[in-house]
A and B are shown apart, each in its own frame.
Chain A
Amino acid sequence: MTNAAKRTRSVGQSSGEHVNPFGDVANRANPDHAMTIPDAVRRCRWIAVDLNARGFGLFVIGPALERQVLSPCFDAAHPGIAIETSLIASGDKSEIVSHARMSSVPCWWSDEKAVPGTFPTLDWCQRIEPLAPGTSGIAFPVHYGRKCGLAVFFGPDIALEPHSLFDIHARCFSLFEAVMRLRPGSAAKIPAISKRELECLKLTANGYTSDEIARLLSLSVHTANQYLSNTTQKLNAVNRMHAVAKALRLGLIE
């Protein structure tokens, strides 16, 4: 609370000290507010400012277990790509990828030359192989729905104040959510599927056969099948299983 008060005051005085517009969770802008990638980069840059990090990047981790890769979303050099980002995205990243899939605990790494105990606040967290050489850094796992990601901050002078861990991580979560909402945002691509069709599809996903669906929804078996083949067509799928998978991945059903 005191932090928030301090920040609000310094907005009024427009003092020399930096004012972070995203610094306080309670004053956070409406998450439904339309955001663009440059907005997200700005928000991320403010987190980096609070960590005194020189570089940052947001990475998405794909759902396929075989592909243990970090796909870059954006970084400090947006719209370009920073060298560090290419380094982080390449090579064997199975350690950090499987960690982020299973856990929300932050990871950190430290430059050999740096004084030991760069992040006293993170002593209890896993130390990982440096994602970018010659720096210290922190990687925050973030999750939204079935999407999983990693917000990475690094730099020679990066520091995490003991009190700000929760705030910073919460802002990473919120940033990731905003970015994930805007990515599949091409609403035009999602076909219009009627309520009844979705109902049938949802029941199919929950293991019901056409016969059972017909009985549950008081339809004839033909109608239930018709609904399902309509959905399959609309989703440009080849069969029911494919339609169920597509609908789940598009978030049409949960």
Chain B
Amino acid sequence: MNSLAIRTEPDSYAGRLASRGDLTSFFMTVTAEIGADCYMLVTIQHDQDSNTARIIASNWIHDAIELAGHRLIARLAQSPAAMPGTRPRSIVPQEGSGGSATMSGEEAKLLDVLGHSEIYSLGVYAGGQHYFLLFSASDTGKIIPESLTQAQLRCCYALSQSPALVGVVTTEDRLSQRERECLSWVSEGKTTDEIALILGVSGTTISNYITHAIQKLSANNRAMAIATAIRSGII
């Protein structure tokens, strides 16, 4: 296979992406190489009672995103979420099988009408954050499963080298050392007074640190701040 030979040349993964334009053409190339029609890069947000997807890059048509909705996209992304090395499987259930854990039969039909008859979700790690990469094609069997691991690692490498492009705001930079310290004590179940004793400062100071941390993480309360901090690997 000719395309395989091109893909394994060292130069093909050395390239840094300098702009959003580069990012788009990079994804277009990878999408074409694996035989897919569409790509979508998302992260998952936990801010509601269910997860929603934040779309970072995609060539899905606007209406398809609108109709599928961010919650279904989040479910698609998270369903098997294969990291490199696990064999990826298409997440759209076979016709007539009446749906799967990820989606109902109607949702599968909707995606099929929208031109996403087979969808693969791949986990990508870059810039200290997990992303999900959805590759889809209008006909089942178009995507070459054997080429997905390479595509996945190439995306890991490319995004790792230009994390700023995909809008990674490293929360760890935003929190001060002291704020992080306080949060990690809160996550150990310590009360404000206990933390004040441990760190040898007044309780008011500790409360202030925690309040600032909650604000910076745009959380509603302590529990949410803890959850956000653990999810993003700060503590």
Residues of A within 8 A of B (CB): 1, 25-26, 28, 31, 63-65, 101-105, 120-121, 123-124, 143-144, 146, 148, 162-163, 165-167, 169-175, 177, 203-209, 216, 237-242, 244-245, 248-249, 254
- B230 near A248 with CB under 8 A, answer yes
Chain A residues with CB under 8 Å of B163's CB are 102-103
User: Restricting to B193-230, which residues have a CB under 8 Å from any CB of A?
Assistant: 219-224, 226-227, 230
- B160 near A209 with CB under 8 A, answer no
Q: Is B234 an interface residue (CB 8 A)?
A: yes
Bound complex: CA A123 to CA B227 (Å): 39
Bound complex: CA A104 to CA B160 (Å): 6
The 6 A-B pairs at the shortest CB distance, nearest first, are namely: A174-B85, A242-B189, A207-B224, A124-B14, A207-B220, A205-B227
Chain A residues with CB under 8 Å of B111's CB are none
- B128 near A248 with CB under 8 A, answer no
Q: Is B57 an interface residue (CB 8 A)?
A: no
Rounded to whole Å, the gap between the CB of A107 and the closest CB of chain B is 11
Bound complex: CA A95 to CA B86 (Å): 29
Bound complex: CA A31 to CA B67 (Å): 35
Q: Is B106 an interface residue (CB 8 A)?
A: no
Chain B residues with CB under 8 Å of A248's CB are 226-227, 230-231
- A103 near B189 with CB under 8 A, answer no
- A65 near B180 with CB under 8 A, answer yes
Chain A residues with CB under 8 Å of B9's CB are 162
- A205 near B10 with CB under 8 A, answer no
Chain B residues with CB under 8 Å of A167's CB are 149
Q: Other than the known A31-B86, A103-B126, A146-B230, what 15 A-B pairs have Cβ atoms closer than 8 Å?
A: A25-B149, A102-B128, A104-B156, A105-B161, A143-B125, A146-B231, A146-B233, A162-B10, A174-B86, A206-B48, A207-B219, A207-B220, A207-B221, A245-B189, A249-B230
Subset of 27 A-B contacts with CB under 8 Å: A25-B146, A25-B149, A28-B86, A28-B87, A63-B235, A65-B235, A101-B128, A102-B160, A102-B163, A102-B170, A103-B126, A104-B156, A105-B157, A120-B10, A124-B13, A162-B8, A166-B150, A167-B149, A169-B153, A174-B84, A174-B86, A204-B224, A206-B224, A207-B220, A237-B189, A241-B187, A241-B226
Chain A residues with CB under 8 Å of B161's CB are 103, 105
Contact A177 to B83, CB < 8 A, known contacts A101-B233, A170-B149: yes
Chain B residues with CB under 8 Å of A120's CB are 10
Q: Is B1 an interface residue (CB 8 A)?
A: yes
- A102 near B127 with CB under 8 A, answer yes
- B46 near A172 with CB under 8 A, answer no
Residues of B within 8 A of A (CB): 1, 4, 8-10, 13-14, 46-49, 51, 83-87, 124-128, 130, 145-146, 149-150, 152-154, 156-157, 160-161, 163, 170, 172, 180, 184, 186-189, 191, 219-224, 226-227, 230-231, 233-235
- B189 near A238 with CB under 8 A, answer yes
Contact A104 to B189, CB < 8 A, known contacts A170-B84, A206-B224: no
Chain A residues with CB under 8 Å of B180's CB are 65
- A65 near B86 with CB under 8 A, answer no
Partner of B223, one of A26, A175, A204: A204
Chain B residues with CB under 8 Å of A165's CB are 8, 13, 153
- B46 near A205 with CB under 8 A, answer yes
Rounded to whole Å, the gap between the CB of A30 and the closest CB of chain B is 9
Bound complex: CA A245 to CA B184 (Å): 9
- B127 near A103 with CB under 8 A, answer yes
Bound complex: CA A26 to CA B127 (Å): 28
Bound complex: CA A210 to CA B87 (Å): 41
Bound complex: CA A167 to CA B47 (Å): 36
Bound complex: CA A167 to CA B29 (Å): 20
- A1 near B146 with CB under 8 A, answer yes
- B47 near A207 with CB under 8 A, answer yes
Rounded to whole Å, the gap between the CB of B185 and the closest CB of chain A is 10
Contact A173 to B84, CB < 8 A, known contacts A206-B48, A216-B49: yes
Chain B residues with CB under 8 Å of A173's CB are 83-86
- A104 near B125 with CB under 8 A, answer yes
Nearest A residue (CB) for B10: A121
Nearest A residue (CB) for B224: A207
Nearest B residue (CB) for A205: B227
- Centre residue among B1, B86, B130 by max chain A CB count within 10 A: B86
